[in-house]
Structure 1
Amino acid sequence: MKDNDKKEHLGTDSSGGSESSKPKSGELRESELRYRRLFEAAQDGILILDAETGTISDANPFIIDLLGFSHEQLAGKRLWEIGAFRDIFASQEKFKELQSLGYVRYEGLPLIAADGRKLFVEFVSNVYEVEGAKVIQCNIRDNTARREAELEKDRLNEKIIEKNEEIESFLYVTTHDLRTPLVNIQGFSRNLAKDLKKLYTLLSKADLPEGIKERVRTLLTDDLPESMGFITGGVLKMNMMIGALLKIARLGRIAPTSASVDMDAVLKDVLGTFAYQLEKIGGVVNILDLPRCSSDTEVVSQVFALLIDNAIKYRKKGRRLEITIEGKVTEDGLVRYMVSDNGLGIEDAELEKIWQVFYSGHTADPGVEHGEGIGLTIAKRMVERNGGRIRVESKEGVGTKFIIDLPARK
Structure 2
Amino acid sequence: MAGLRQPRNGFFACPYCTPLRCRLRNIPLSLPLCGASVQYQDEQMKLALCWLPNRAIFAMQRIVIAYCYPREIISSAVTGSGITAKKPMINARAIKDALTTNTNLLCIATDQAGVIQFFNRGAEQLLGFEADHVVGKLNMLDVSAPQENSSFADPLTATPVMPVTREVQASRRWSTAPTSGYELNLLRKDGRPIPVFATVSVTHDAQGTVSGYVFVGWAYDEQKQLYTSEERFRRLFESAQDGILILDAVTGIVIDANPFLLSLLGYTIAEIKAKYIWDLGFFKNIADNKANFLELQRQKYIRYADLPLETAHGKVVNVEFVSNVYLEGSIEVIQCNIRDNTARKVAEENILKLSQVVDQSPDGIVISNVLGEIEYVNHAFVMETGYSVEEVIGKNPRFLQSGKTAPETYKALWAALTSGRTWKGEFLNRRKDGTEYTEFDIIAPLRAGDGTISHYVALKEDGTQRKQLTEELQAHRLHLQELVGIRTAELAEAKNVAESANHAKSTFLATISHEIRTPLNGILGMIELLTLSDLDDDQRAKLDVVSQSGQSLLRIISDILDYSKIEAGKLEIINEIASVSRIVGNSCNLYRASASRKGLTLKSDIDPQISPHVWADPQRLQQILNNLVSNAIKFTNEGQIAIHAKLVKKRPNLELIEISVIDGGIGVSADQMKFLFEPFTQIDTNSTRRYSGTGLGLSICRRLAEMMGGSISMESKLGVGTTVRLIVALAPAAAIEALPPQVTDNRANRANRANDLRVLIARDLASNALSAPADGTLVLVVDDHPANRLVLVHQLKALGYAAETAENGLDGLEKWKTGRYDLVIVDCQMPILDGYEMVTQLRAIELATGCARTPVIACTANAMIGEADKCKAVGMDDFLTKPLEITDVAQKLNLWLPLRANKPPLGGDTAHHAAVDTNTLAAIFRGSATTKAELIRIFRDANDQDASDLRFAITARDIVATMRTAHRIKGAAGLIGATRLASLAKQIEQECGEANWQAIAEMLQQFERELGQVNAFLDSA
Which of 1 and 2 has greater Rg? 2
Q: Please indicate the TM-score interval, normalised by the length of the shorter structure.
A: 0.3 to 0.5
The structure richer in helix per residue is 1
TM-score by length of 2: 0.18
Q: TM-score scaled to structure 1, two decimals? A: 0.39
| Higher RCO by CA contacts (8 Å cutoff, separation 6 or greater) | 1
